[in-house]
Chain A
Amino acid sequence: MKTKIKQLLTKGLLKENPVFVLMLGLCSVLAVSVSVINALGMTLAFTFVTVLSEVTISVLRKWIPKSLRIPIFIVIIASFVTILQFLLQAYFPSLNKALGIFIPLIVVNCIIIGRIESFASKKPVFDSILDGLGISLGYGIAILSIAIVREILGNGTILGYSLFGTSFEPALMFILPPGAFLVIGIEIGIINHVSKKASRKEASK
Chain B
Amino acid sequence: MNLVNILIQTIFSQNFIFMRFLGLCPFFGLTNDMDSSIGMGGAVTFVTVMASVVSYFVYYFVLIPFGVEYLQTIAFILTIAVFVQLVEIYLKKMIPNLYKVMGIYLPLITTNCMILGVTLINIQEGYSLMETIVFAFGSSVGFTLAMILMTAIRIRIGNANVPAFFKGAPIVFLAASFIAIAFMGLQGLGG
Contact = CB atoms under 8 A, between A and B. Distances in A.
Interface of A: 23-24, 26-28, 30-31, 70-71, 74-75, 78-79, 81-82, 85-86, 101, 104-105, 107-110, 113, 173, 176-182, 184-186, 188-189, 192-193
B91 interface: no
- Chain A facing B: main interface SS: helix
A45 B23 CA distance: 20
Contact of B77 (A28, A31, A108, A180): A108
Contacts, number: 116
A70 B112 CA distance: 14
Contact of B168 (A26, A78, A113, A192): A192
B30 to A, nearest CB: 12
Contacts of B24: 26-27, 30
A185 B177 contact: yes
Nearest to A193: B165
Nearest to A89: B70
Interface string B19-43: 1111111001100000000000000
A188 B111 contact: no
A27 B21 contact: yes
Interface in B160-190: 165-174, 176-178, 180-181, 184
Contacts of B152: none
A33 B33 CA distance: 30
Contacts of B124: 101
A105 B176 contact: no
B169 A188 contact: yes
Contacts of B181: 173, 178
A177 B180 contact: yes
